[in-house]
Amino acid sequence: MAKQDEKTIGKVHTGFCSYVQDLPSHPNSEKLKDLILAFNGIIDLGFDLTKDYIKGAVEYYKGNVRKGDELTPCALGDS
């Protein structure tokens, strides 16, 4: 099943895929930290997060793109 364009499915997805797109090739723990802070309402990244988004970002960080794609609306493995 193809992933939807993040801009067409509302604020929940807007920006998340762009934010994490470089995690598989350039792991950055600061991005993971910021995602957790945003999830807990401490900072605002401009998009909403779910626990699965955080888990998916961790998978991207570890290089498991397929698993990250399963947990998020992103399709980083298709690029």
In total, how many domains does the chain have? 1
pTM more than 0.85: no
For the segment 2-60, what is each residue's pLDDT rounded down to a tens digit?
Answer: 444 444 444 445 588 889 988 888 888 899 999 999 999 999 998 889 999 999 999 99
- Helices 29-39 and 51-62 sit at what angle, rounded to 10 degrees? 180
Q: How far apart are CA 62 and CA 68, in angstroms?
A: 9
> Cα angle vertex 48, ends 24, 5, to 5°?
65
Judge whether 1 lies within some domain: no
Query: Is 67 part of a structural domain of the chain?
Result: yes
56 found inside a domain:
yes
48-75: pLDDT as tens digits = 899 999 999 999 999 999 999 999 988 8
Is residue 2 assigned to a domain? Answer: no
Angstrom distance (rounded) from CA 3 to CA 76: 10
Distance CA 67, CA 75 (A): 10
Range of the domain at 62: 10-78
